[in-house]
Chains A and B, each alone.
Chain A
Amino acid sequence: MKQPNRLEHGGRIDRDRAIEMQFDGQTLSAFEGDTLASAMLANGLKIVARGFKYHRPRGVFSAGVEEPNALVHLRSGARHEPNARATVVEAYDGLQSTGQNAWPGVRFDISAVNQLLAPFIGAGFYYKTFMGPVKGTAFWMFCEKFIRRAAGMGRAQTVADPDEYEKVNAFCDVLVIGGGPAGLAAAIAAGQCGARVILLEQDACLGGSMLSLPVGGESDACLKAMEATLKGMDNVRILKRTTVFGAYDQDVYGAVERVWDHVEVPPAHQPRQRYWQIRTKQAVMATGAIERPLVFANNDRPGVMLANAVRSYVNRYAVLPGKKIVLATNNDSAYAVAADLVRAGAEVSLLDARVSVPAELFKPLEALGVQLYPGYGILAAKGSRGVSGAKIVLLDENGCARGPSKTIRCDLIAVSGGWTPVVHLWSQRGQKLQFDEQSASFLPLKSASSTLKTAGSANACGDLNQALLQGEVAGQEAAKAVTGVVGVQVNVPRLKEAIYADDWARDLLMIWSVTREDGSTDGKAFVDVQHDVALSDIDLAHREGFVSVEHLKRYTTTGMATDQGKLSNINALARMAQLQALSIPKVGTTTFRPPYTPIAIGAIAGREQGIHFRPTRLTPVHDWHVDNAAVMIEAGAWKRPWYYPEGGETINQAYVREAAHVRKHVGVVDASTLGKIAVQGPDAAEFLNRVYVNAWKKLKIGRLRYGVMLRDDGIVLDDGATARLGENDYFMTTTTANAAKILGYLEHLLQTAWTDLKVHVTSVSDQYAAFAVAGPSARDLLDAVCSGADLSNEALPNNQFVKATIAGVPVRINRMSYSGELAYEVYVASGYAHAVWKNLFKAGASFDIKPYGTESMGALRIEKGHVAGPEIDGRTTLGDLGLAGFASRVKPFSGSVLRHREKLDMASRPTLVGLEIDGDTGGMAGSLIYDQRAQQMGEEQGFLTSTTYSPALKKYISLALLRDGHERFGESVDIVNHVGDTVQTAKVVSPHFFDPEGARQNA
């Protein structure tokens, strides 16, 4: 395709590198340095998208992130991306794009018939209908299907994203946001003052608004000089293609760098995007301003564009989107645009809503042949698939037509309604904005923040030299706040001649909407072009009382589209202000929410997906488990051996065999995942005495004790054994699941409640491995493998430990049993764990040692009636679990007061019981228990917590929480699985199914 709108000369494109792209099957020829939008315009494409609701034809509207119209599908297959703004998509050879939200295509779109429905589908119409003739939701849901299909914008991708993303944490003294003149000046100044600076710019090039100025002018020289200065500063880091999307508490900024978004496929091992989390001491917000559109009938036609966007296309991309241009403004900034357009070869008529315009502005233009219309505005754009003319009128002070209209033929309408400073980040920090009458914009309330400074257009500073100065001062002040050094000379260039015509903030007439005398328009006049919100919708919202900004926004959906109101905000407010006869700030402003521009979800996830979604914790003997064919199970971050199938065993066969083996011979389970906390200090015993329900002050060195903790409201929190290793040195264990929670809880108590206690708590979960050796031959095995310790029953009874060595490795051997068998726990430093484990197995061969997994461990503890997670579920009390006997009656402890609240002490609470299930199928945890006689009353009596097949009892058993449980031993109950619709019967028994006297573990 030829590039009919490409200028012969100029631009910041690389004419040596011609490229080709596709849009909707058409080939676009372009150059490197183009955006997709500039290429579309260069190639004379007018209709590039369709409106959201009415499917009206739309063209490129802006040249930046604020683009409301030119949203496209990018790429195909797994790298497909919806809703890409063509104005910021960097051109590359082979780029594929298509139109979206249109069928069969954007040039001809069937859904454009919606325009016929336009009278019916104004703001909030859906709240008033689709309710259906009868009660219920059926009619709505029927309609909703069609509404959903019609809504949405692009198509989501349908396969997983193949690209990688990563996260970086960065720290600096001064973060400069925005690489326009103010930002560059700030970075230079802060850097020269000695601060460590990070400068972020969303564009691929530095320069900001300077890039839209004529190539080769004085501003270019200034820009080059600044870039050169920055290049020479090794304390300034510059990141381009990087958008700061959010500002958070404690001066944390989130930014996304589009590292390889400008190519089809990122190079191998390179991330497509990188998420930066930046902690800074000071920040300078030099985020610029976005031009404001004007509102008039059919202002959405392809060929209506922002004035400075047109200037950008001319100067930066060497594209002149129209030959006969009507330029409408209410401020000074359009004058320089007009001059550039004429120089590029266009014929320009300039309409200024202001009646009197200073001579220094219009004189130079007159000399260039620009036709001037002071006091005029555009009433309507002519043309349906593109602009063919502008209907212009003299305006009164409200923007209403005064006198007859006339039509100027043109192929482009460029508009400037002043500018909106980009104050999103300021607002996100919760800082106040103040309405500035002169520039008609919400500005950062100076001095409100001590760590965030503003400079340049973000401050409504329309003059380039002024922006450079503001940047310099902000950079200096920010650096000074960090380094404390004052009076450092900095060296920021200035332009010799001020670019006088640019200062939009100097003299702006607050007219944005142009209507007929009666306030109506000649066709839809859009306030929010992307969401198809017209003036009439704002009027309707007003009529119906949706007048507060948030109501207005939500009722009409103004500002809720992907541009999040960057163009529509002030214009909507202004209309509402006019209708209510209030000033704009009286109507209010909405708070800005992150992100500033939409950011890829994948970038925020970074590499934390798949296997890295959560850290994986492996015990020191993990490899052995894998080598020995263990089937692993997730336990929080841990992977634990679930069971070790032998010869094609199922899980049920395997765990039953393993459990039986433990009761007969000896088994070892890897218990390294237990939480382990070193509790140390002179007040350690006192501390334990307060957090555990039982007494701890008299525990001797060499002993250990089972303990239970309560939440302060008296509910059971966790349990575990704690050993006293030395005078002030205790070794606590917690359940695997609660390890981190308990550590946090203990720290919390020490740091807030009992700051006087001299105790340190340190996690040593990773430092030690723990193996439970259980079974009748446990002692014989350990005797065979240990040296340096007497393990006899007399020397080492339950609840004591000894130090010993296994294969020369020091270990601690706790005598305690979870399985109910004669059992020991071997604690060993993690680095030696594998060696010790292997030695256990080597020596164990003659004792028929077998490993066992968590499933059989569960079976063994259920047989013994020990409680675990399913019973300690955050709702049960000591009494419920049959642990009340542990609680001290004399000392206070965490939870000791509230645990006696009346409902927690009630006798009828469900308590822990055992169930022997009849028949040869197991129960399902969660099934409900019914009284066999009272079932008709429909009241469930309790539920199953943990179930298993008991190899010892040769039947299915379960732990359960049952109302009046202790009084019901011997009673028969029904176990009902409502979901599977099955009923089983069971006998209520003591939860201590097996060896209740503990003969085996004390053997």
Chain B
Amino acid sequence: MKNKYSIFSLARNALSYHQRWQTAWRSPEPKKQYDVIIIGGGGHGLATAYYLAKECGITNVAILEKSWIGGGNTGRNTTIVRSNYLWDESAAIYDHAMDLWSDLSQELNYNVMFSPRGLLHLAHSVHDMQEISRRGHSNHLNGIDAEFLNPEQIKKMLPFIELDCRYPVMGGILQKRGGTARHDAVAWGYARAADALGVDIIQNCEVTGFNIRDGAVCGVQTSRGQISAKKVGVVTAGHCSVLAEMAGFRLPIESFPLQAMVSEPVKPIVDCVAMSNGVHAYISQSDKGELVIGASSDTYTSYTQTGGFDVIEETIGAIVELYPLFSRMKMMRQWGGIVDVTVDRSPILSKTPVDNLFFNCGWGTGGFKATPGSGHVFAHSIANGEMHPIAAPFSIDRFHTGGLIDEGAAAAVAH
């Protein structure tokens, strides 16, 4: 049995100088054979494994992670959580995630610090206004909260905003249930809970190839040897195309660097999450006090996790434009991740040309918020061999049929 985390266990352990805490997850040697192998120990992969064990009765599961869990985009993102997407299909999957977010800490017995502090999209042009208006209307239809704010109401939420900037703020749309969560805690919480249910988390284990027999996957080759599996789920985000190539097919995905930065920590000043597609400024404040700022993705495809500084310049310009008081704040750290982008900016959760091989990818610039929902429906899809109804519209087929779920057409970035 795992230690249960609570204020009481914390107090008890304090008395024994914290000598009695157990490892959050084991580090087992890979077994010869698993029922399901999940490739990629990011939030989505870990969540998938957890729900396989928790809800689908499949516990002979391994997660293979080439480096350390949560070190991909899961540990690099700006942690914005929202569900106010335009299309019904997106609303269904992101709002499914939203429902899971609200009880996730208790579910995992791990404080993932999901904090629905309100998420505000600003509109800077007539076009932006039309976009939020249409989106707001469809949100309502899908039971997703959306409130339109006028500039005065926005000023109340963000007292330091400069409404009358180069592209004046004309209005905004607020999702009160939106907010942020602690990215590392999501990865670790799922890992610990999955491990407790018997899932093997195997780090430093890179998948280098698939064993495919009669058109069906039967195992993987890894840097730690061959491992067989009845089913395999690939959840490798920026590197999904690489894995698809190993399996012998191509994905309609381009991988770009996406950058973000934090300022030095300061006392609370930004309470909600404020996003602006129009001038490209995304800002929130972490519990530690850092301003967390997201940039737009680089214009060139790349696998280097750095990205060009011009993108940062652009983003910082927008931040200073909207929030001139942050000009003297100092940027403390800047980094990038590789995001897997589809043409319609919606993810791919799908069966593949190879039997028993499933892919969950294409979350691009905005998949953190979907982590619980994505893992949940993907687990059920793998377990049943058929895509879960919420996942079904996101199949690879849509690129053949043209049935795109286009969330990106208006704004190139959907954090």
Asked whether A135 lies within 8 Å of B102 as measured between CB atoms, the reply is yes
- Do B324 and A160 touch (CB < 8 A)? yes
A147 near B: Cβ within 8 Å? yes
What's the Cα separation between A595 and B334 when bound, in Å?
A: 7
A977 with B137: CB separation less than 8 A: yes
Structural contact, A614 and B166, CB atoms closer than 8 A: yes
Q: Is A540 an interface residue (CB 8 A)?
A: yes
Q: Which of B364-415 contact A (CB under 8 A)?
A: 398, 400-404, 406, 408-410
Given contacts A149-B268, A550-B68, A634-B125, contact A127 B111 (CB under 8 A): yes
**Docked-complex contact A604 and B328, CB < 8 angstroms:** no
A933 within 8 A of B: no
Q: Which residues of B contact A874 (CB under 8 A)?
A: 406, 408-410
CB distance from B86 to the nearest CB of A (A): 10
Cβ contact within 8 Å between B287 and A160:
no
| Interface-central residue, A136, A246, A593, by most chain B CB under 10 Å | A593
B21 A540 Cβ-Cβ under 8 A: yes
Q: Is the CB of A126 within 8 A of B166?
A: no
Q: Which of chain B's residues has its CB closest to A554's CB? A: B184
Assess whether A141 is in contact with B325, with CB atoms less than 8 Å apart. Answer: no
Q: Could you tell me if B332 and A564 are in contact, using CB atoms closer than 8 angstroms?
A: yes
A272 — nearest CB in chain B belongs to which residue?
B328
Any A CB within 8 A of the CB of B153: no
Distance of B104 from chain A, by nearest CB (Å): 9
Please indicate the chain A residues that have their CB under 8 angstroms from the CB of B288 in the complex. Answer: 151-152, 557, 560
Asked if B301 CB lies within 8 Å of chain A CBs, one says no
**Interface residue? B14 (CB, 8 A):** yes
Q: Is the CB–CB distance between A903 and B330 below 8 Å? A: no
Confirm or deny: B246 has a beta carbon within 8 angstroms of a beta carbon on chain A.
no
B267 touches A129 (CB 8 A): no
A129 touching B111 by the CB < 8 A rule? yes
A118: shortest Cβ distance to chain B, in Å?
9
Whether A81 pairs with B328 at a CB distance below 8 angstroms is yes
Which residue from A128, A545, A598 sits with its C-beta under 8 Å from B332? A598
Residues of A within 8 A of B248 (CB): none
A979 touches B136 (CB 8 A): yes
In the complex, the answer to whether A610 meets B165 with C-beta atoms within 8 Å is yes
Asked whether A493 is an interface residue with its Cβ less than 8 Å from the other chain, the reply is no
Bound-state Cα–Cα, A853 to B273, Å = 36
A934 at interface by CB-CB < 8 Å: no
Quick one: closest B residue to A84, CB to CB? B330
- The answer to whether B326 touches A148, judged by C-beta atoms less than 8 angstroms apart, is no
A82 near B331 (CB under 8 angstroms)? no
Is A249 in contact with B306, judged by CB distance below 8 angstroms? yes
User: Which chain A residues in 109-146 approach chain B with CB under 8 Å?
Assistant: 119-120, 122, 125-132, 134-137, 140-141, 144
CB pair B264 A545 closer than 8 Å:
no
Chain B residues near A130 (CB, 8 Å)? 7, 111
Q: Which A residues are in CB contact (< 8 Å) with B9?
A: 128
Which residues of A lie under 8 Å from residue B402 when comparing CB positions? 713-714, 898, 901-905
Interface contact A152-B279, CB-CB below 8 Å: no
State the CA gap A132–B102 with chains docked (Å): 12
Residue total for B at the interface (Cβ-Cβ under 8 A):
111
Q: Give the residue name and chain of the A residue nearest to B398 (CB).
A: A903
Question: A247 to chain B: closest CB distance in Å?
Answer: 10
Cβ-defined contact, A248 with B308, below 8 A: yes
- Cβ-neighbour of A140 out of B5, B24, B115 (below 8 A): B115
CB interface residues, B 165-203, toward A, < 8 Å? 165-167, 182, 184-185, 188-189, 203
Instruction: Give A870 to B333 CA distance when docked, in angstroms.
Output: 39
Within 8 A of B (CB), among A902-954: 902-905, 924-928, 938, 940, 943
Contact (A156, B116) CB under 8 Å given A144-B287, A979-B137, A979-B148: no
Give the complex CA separation of A160 and B6 in angstroms. Answer: 43
Q: Which of A681-732 contact B (CB under 8 A)?
A: 713-714
In the bound complex, do residue A127 and residue B14 qualify as a contact, i.e. CB atoms below 8 Å apart?
A: no
Complex Cα–Cα for A15 and B252 (A): 70
Contacting residues, chain B, for A611 (C-beta < 8 A): 166
- Measured in the bound complex, the distance between the Cα atoms of B135 and A869 in whole Å is 16
The size bracket of the interface on A is 35 or more
Q: Which of A129, A136, A254 contacts B103 (CB 8 A)?
A: A136
Q: Is the CB of B111 within 8 A of A548?
A: no
Point out the residues of chain B lying under 8 angstroms from A125, CB to CB. Answer: 10
A437 an interface residue at 8 Å Cβ cutoff? no
Residues 157 to 199 of chain A near chain B (Cβ within 8 Å): 157-161, 163, 165
On chain A, the residues within 8 Å of B116 by CB distance are: 137, 141
The answer to whether A155 touches B266 (Cβ under 8 A) is yes
Q: Which of A119, A127, A977, A979 gathers most chain B CB within 10 Å? A: A127
**A161 and B309: CB pair below 8 A?**
no
Q: Which residues of A contact B289 (CB under 8 A)?
A: 148, 151-153
CA distance A786 to B115 in the complex (A): 67
Check: A43 CB closer than 8 A to any chain B CB: no
Measured CB to CB, the closest approach of chain A to B106, in angstroms, equals 5
Question: Does B319 have its Cβ within 8 Å of any Cβ on chain A?
Answer: yes
Verify A152–B18 contact, CB threshold 8 A.
no
Residues of chain A contacted by B226 (CB below 8 angstroms): none
B contact residues around A153 at 8 Å (CB): 264-267, 289
Q: Contact: B23 with A543, CB < 8 Å?
A: yes
State whether the Cβ of A544 lies closer than 8 Å to any Cβ in chain B: yes
Cβ contact of A131, chosen from B105, B117, B141, B182, cutoff 8 A: B105
Q: Are B306 and A156 within 8 A (Cβ)?
A: no
Question: Which of chain A's residues have a CB closer than 8 A to the CB of B130?
Answer: 870, 925-926
User: Are A902 and B401 within 8 A (Cβ)?
Assistant: yes
> Are A605 and B14 within 8 A (Cβ)?
no
**A835–B404 alpha-carbon span in the complex (Å):** 50
Is A585 among interface residues, defined by CB-CB distance under 8 A? Answer: no
**In the assembled complex, which residues on chain B have CB atoms less than 8 Å from the CB atom of A714?**
402
Shortest Cβ distance from A861 into chain B, in angstroms?
15
Q: Which residue of chain B is the closest to A598 with respect to CB atoms? A: B330
Report the Cα distance A88→B22, complex, angstroms: 43
Residues of A within 8 A of B309 (CB): 246, 248, 252, 254, 277, 594
Q: How far, in angstroms, from A128 to B189 measured CA to CA in the complex?
A: 10
CB A903 to nearest CB in B, in angstroms, measures: 4
Do A156 and B115 have beta carbons less than 8 Å apart? no
**In the complex, B343 has a CB within 8 A of chain A:** yes
Q: How far is the CA of A633 from the CA of B128 in the complex (A)?
A: 14
Q: Is the CB of B115 within 8 A of A598?
A: no
Residues of B within 8 A of A132 (CB): 105-106
In contact, A545 and B23 (Cβ under 8 angstroms): yes
- Per the bound structure, the CA–CA distance linking A264 and B166 in Å amounts to 29
In this assembly, does A599 line the interface, its C-beta being within 8 Å of a C-beta of chain B? Answer: yes
Judge whether B325 and A602 touch: CB under 8 Å: no
Question: Which residues does chain A contribute within 8 Å of B124, judged by CB atoms?
Answer: 634
- Verify A137–B267 contact, CB threshold 8 A: no
The answer to the question of B75 belonging to the interface, with a C-beta cut-off of 8 Å to chain A, is: yes
Q: Is A562 an interface residue (CB 8 A)?
A: yes
A601 an interface residue at 8 Å Cβ cutoff? Answer: yes
| B62-75 interface bits toward A, Cβ cutoff 8 Å, 1 = contact, 0 = none | 00000110110001
Enumerate chain B residues within 8 angstroms of A135, measured Cβ to Cβ: 102-103, 106
Known contacts A129-B7, A540-B21: does B304 contact A613 (CB below 8 Å)?
A: no
Nearest CB of chain A from residue B101's CB, rounded to whole Å: 8
Contact of A546 among B14, B24, B141 (CB under 8 A): B24
Q: Is there a chain B Cβ closer than 8 Å to A104's Cβ? A: no
Q: A152-B268, A159-B325, A610-B166 are in contact. Are A601 and B106 (CB under 8 A)?
A: no
Q: Are A246 and B325 in contact, with the CB atoms below 8 A?
A: no
A555 to chain B: which residues have CB within 8 Å? 184, 188
Which one, B44-52, B233-241, B310-318, is touching chain A? B310-318
Q: A81-B328, A140-B115 are in contact. List 18 more A-B contacts (CB 8 A).
A: A127-B188, A128-B6, A128-B9, A140-B113, A152-B289, A155-B267, A246-B309, A544-B23, A544-B24, A545-B25, A550-B75, A562-B265, A613-B317, A874-B406, A901-B402, A902-B403, A926-B136, A943-B137
Some 28 contacts from A to B, beta carbons below 8 A apart, are A129-B6, A131-B106, A137-B116, A141-B115, A144-B113, A144-B115, A149-B268, A152-B266, A154-B266, A156-B269, A156-B325, A156-B326, A157-B325, A159-B325, A160-B162, A246-B309, A545-B25, A562-B332, A605-B313, A608-B313, A609-B327, A613-B317, A902-B402, A903-B398, A903-B401, A926-B137, A979-B133, A979-B137
